[in-house]
Structure 1
Amino acid sequence: MPPTTPPADAVLPPRAPGAPAPGTRLGSHYEHCFGCGPQHPQGLRIDAVAGEGLDVTAEFTVRPEHQGGPGLAHGGMLMTAMDETMGTLNWLLHAPAVTGRLESDFVRPVPVDSVLHIRAWVTGVHGRKIYSAAEGRIGGPDGPVAIRAQALFIQVKLEHFTTHGRPEDIEKVMDDQDLLKRARAFEVNP
């Protein structure tokens, strides 16, 4: 069984109490995040929306600075968009987590100026492991699949970030009381 496939005894938990309601924009977990941060000048600015269950949708517009081959999205940028979108699923579980493994299948090229419509969903939870999958489509949410991804996320405590992050960035986050309050609400085994 591949490491991104949940084991047979994994469960699909309910949405966490107090999780963002369906249709809610999830926003950025950190304003300077390359994937979702609005303050990152070259970032992807992924803005996910909570779905009905344990799923989210997002859009990523491929800009010229995201290209690899002439006029085409760089595969690493596409993977970053998929990783970021799958990572937002953790808001629905109230579980801070980090990417443990990420796998992809590139199905078709994605041209610059295209919008990649991403849908991600939880496929199972087993202990601290959260399994998820995603599809990215071009031409609309029902357009042809351009990329598929599967991931394994590992739940961590907030100390994971404060212990390993750059001190000046941690200090800025700790000074942001709204962000700190939001993050503490999702702490694993507080």
Structure 2
Amino acid sequence: MTRSTVTTPPPEATVPRARPDAPAPGTPLGPHYSRCFGCGEQHPTGLHLNATSPDGVTVVAEFTVGEAHQGAPGLAHGGVLATAMDEVIGMSIWLFQRPYVTGRLETDYLAPVPVGATLHLRAWCTGVSGRKAYLEAEGRIGSAEGPVAVRAAALFIEVGMEHFARHGDAQAIIDEHHDYEVNP
């Protein structure tokens, strides 16, 4: 994947290390919002990504492409695959316990993903500089060692929780994340 200069970390960027309180390897990370299309268990047609971190800095997840996720007959919709990349990347930056939003997502499609196939996702951070985080992900068909079907590079921007209260549903944030302070 050739990354643009927007998703390539600058020379002064640092690669984050696992936090001392990082989840133990294999611990489910859980959804950030129960009705999220990417990870929420209460979204009826969502991806229902179940993620874990093997090392406190990388996230792995998988999802099986269902009928509701197809574009061309029998194949995953490219937008759904981009959503999966965005979601797993977002989960990887969340390991650092700061809220980020997607600033740019570049997605390369390398192979079609059939309905019924399981896509094995992996995401990691390549650097942080100020409020900007640079991340990458890949999705492999069938197993973690299977052929790469999709790759992504992203720029995420750190925001305060007020961003979500101002532009979203502040009460839902409070209801699902009792430990957050939200000042709209």
What is the root-mean-square deviation in Å for CA atoms of aligned residues?
1.5
| 1:124 partnered with 2:122 | no
Q: Please give the TM-score of this superposition, normalised by the length of structure 1.
A: 0.89
TM normalised by structure 2 equals 0.92
The 3 A distance-change label for structure 1 pair 84 and 59 is same
CA contact (8 A) 2:22 2:56 kept: no
1:13-32 equivalence runs, <5 A: 13-32=16-35
CA apart distance, 1:100: 0.4
The answer to whether the aligner puts 1:180 opposite 2:178 as a matched pair is: yes
| Aligned match for 2:83, one of 80, 85, 91 | 80
The corresponding residue for 1:133 is 136
Runs of 4+ more than 4 Å apart: none
* C-alpha contact (below 8 Å) 1:19/1:91 kept by paired residues: no
Structure 1: tracts of 5 or more residues without a match: none
- Whether the 8 Å CA contact 2:117–2:142 is kept in 1: the answer is yes
Q: Which residue of 1 aligns with 2:157?
A: 154
Structure 2: how far apart are the matches of 1:8 and 1:109?
Answer: 35
Aligned to 1:2: 5
Matches within 5 A, 1:58-69: 58-69=61-72
| Residue segments in structure 2 that go unaligned for 5+ positions in a row | none
Deviation of the 1:40 alpha carbon: 0.9
Identity of aligned residues (%): 57
Quote the Cα distance in structure 1 between the aligned partners of 2:47 and 2:35.
Answer: 11
Greater helix proportion = 1
